[in-house]
């Protein structure tokens, strides 16, 4: 698998860029502080455009403010329920 991982540091920030050439995906992971930094957000726009123009899907993952365990559990329960519903439709 052709996967390139690059980390970018800006002052006290540590964005993580993961480029997956095989799947044409770029993942950008950022902290709450980075998410809320408007200057950083503006600086990232050309990066988003560069990869989008090259045919990559750009996925930006941002830290949130909610309880991760609670919402992840709810999401997994919802996905399981939907899978069962779809399986029942096939029967």
Closest by CA to 24, choosing from 46, 1, 57, 50, is 57
Question: Which of the four pLDDT bands, split at 50, 70 and 90, describes residue 1?
Answer: very low
52 and 58 in contact (C-beta within 8 Å)? yes
Q: Is 88 part of any domain?
A: no
Distance separating alpha carbons of residues 89 and 27, to the nearest angstrom: 34
Per-residue pLDDT at 17: 84
pLDDT at 59 over 80: yes
Q: Is 76 part of any domain?
A: no
Nearest 10 degrees: CA dihedral of 20, 21, 23, 26? 50
Length of the chain measured in residues = 91
User: Which range marks the domain in which residue 45 is found?
Assistant: 3-64
Q: Which two tokens stand for residue 22?
A: 């095989």
When comparing pLDDT for 15 and 1, which is higher? 15
Number of domains in the chain: 1
Q: Is 82 part of any domain?
A: no
pLDDT for 35-52, tens place per residue?
Answer: 898 988 998 999 999 999
Q: Is 89 part of any domain?
A: no
Strand partners, 5: 18
The answer to whether the predicted template modeling score (pTM) of the entire model surpasses 0.75 is no
pLDDT at 81 over 90: yes
Q: Is 39 part of any domain?
A: yes
When comparing pLDDT for 57 and 67, which is higher? 57
Is the Cα dihedral 52, 38, 60, 10 positive or negative? positive
Q: Is 81 part of any domain?
A: no
Question: Which of the four pLDDT bands, split at 50, 70 and 90, describes residue 3?
Answer: low
């Amino acid at each position: 698998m052709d996967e390139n991982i690059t980390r970018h540091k800006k002052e006290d920030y540590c964005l993580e860029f993961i480029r997956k050439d095989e799947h044409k995906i770029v993942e950008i992971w950022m902290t709450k502080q980075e998410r809320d930094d408007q200057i950083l957000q503006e600086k990232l726009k050309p990066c988003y455009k560069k990869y989008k123009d090259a045919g990559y899907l750009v996925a930006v993952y941002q830290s949130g403010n909610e309880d991760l365990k609670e919402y992840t559990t709810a999401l997994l329960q919802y996905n399981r329920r939907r899978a069962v519903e779809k399986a029942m439709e096939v029967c």
